[in-house]
Structure 1
Amino acid sequence: MNGEQAGVRAGQAVSGELPVLCLDVRRVLDGVPAHPIRAEFRFDAVSPMVVSVMFTPWRGRGVTWRIGRELLYRGLYEESGEGDVQAWSVQGEEGEVAWLLLESRESSAVFELPVAEVGEWLEATYKIVAAEAEADALDWDAFLGELLDDRERPDDRPAVPRSLD
């Protein structure tokens, strides 16, 4: 992000409207922040444990990642997550930032996130659904469907466990 905060837009939760945060983040290559990417953070009270983030490069198609809300929040201030999604705070050129690591089978990327903006947005989501109320507000069928992306098996049959003999 540049120091002018251009490209930052945060919606406020008012009368059913859920907050959306759009900002320009930088992809980190070889430990140096570069390559600006548009990131759109969305929160849905139906699936309060998850934040959806769409990363869109200036040229090309975007990709959406679903990240644990608590993992992202903790990662702004300390090491958080393991495996495919991790976040941790670092001191950046323009103040306090956090790095977000996303890995898939095909590729991986690290993004620099501004702690103040993302932290403020996440706090607004916790005002909509408090951390201790996440499980109560969760529609488990919708949550699991979203995580699995509602994909059917190719032959539309349930998986049959194999014997390990």
Structure 2
Amino acid sequence: MDGEQSGLRMRQTTPEQDKPALDLVVLRVLDGGTRRPLRAAFRFDPSAPMVVSLTLSPMRGPSVTWRIGRELLRHGLHDESGEGDVRVWAAPGEEGRAAWMRLESRQSSALLELPARAVSRWLAATYVRVPAHAEGRALDWDGFLTSLCDDFAEPTD
């Protein structure tokens, strides 16, 4: 899921220290199997618990941030997950050590090799912070529905 989350707003902001983070190096897989390191910063905001942010920073050039479904990422560390812009799957023969992530946009695409164990431990910590069954409570559903209704209201002249 690239971009913002369908207009859903957060109920409250959370201090930075309460947002679990994971900074590591991932490998971008290029043609011919060549691998290039990228700095990757995974961020989780408990006030928007259905997504994680992944900021990729190449050694040269601008950084790019993707917003990825937390469940998609978790499932992808073990089985094929996602379709369209973001896909994640376990690397064959790596026994839980590596996973692949494919990111696609209109402008470009990237195949990344992730250290699955590190990402899995980090994700587990996010689920301790906000369990899957509690994700919906962090979203401002009333505000979201009100904004939808306002969008469909007849203009007054």
Query: Where does residue 28 of structure 1 map in the other structure?
Result: 29
Indicate the SS of the match to 1:45: coil
1:140 CA drift (Å): 4.6
Runs of at least 4 residues of structure 1 off by over 4 A? 92-95, 140-143
5+ unaligned residues in a row in structure 2: which ranges? 1-16, 145-149, 153-157
1:28 CA drift (Å): 1.0
Taking only the aligned residue pairs, the percentage that are identical comes to 58
Is residue 99–residue 113 contact of structure 1 (8 Å, CA) maintained in 2? Answer: yes
Could you tell me how far apart the structure 2 residues matched to 1:96 and 1:61 are? Answer: 29
Structure 1 residues 84 and 93, CA, compared in 2 at 3 Å: closer, same or farther? same
Structure with more strand by fraction: 1
Indicate the SS of the match to 2:62: coil
Query: Where does residue 73 of structure 2 map in the other structure?
Result: 72
| TM-score for both structures, normalised by structure 1 | 0.72
| Structure 1 vs Structure 2 CA RMSD | 2.6
1:138 CA drift (Å): 2.0
Letter in 2 for 1:53: L
Is residue 78–residue 96 contact of structure 2 (8 Å, CA) maintained in 1? Answer: no
Query: Where does residue 45 of structure 2 map in the other structure?
Result: 44
Aligned length: 131
| TM-score for both structures, normalised by structure 2 | 0.75
Could you tell me how far apart the structure 2 residues matched to 1:18 and 1:128 are? Answer: 9
Query: Where does residue 110 of structure 1 map in the other structure?
Result: 111
* 1:1-165 correspondence to structure 2 within 5 Å: 17-30=18-31, 32=33, 34-91=35-92, 96-140=97-141
Is residue 46–residue 139 contact of structure 1 (8 Å, CA) maintained in 2? Answer: no
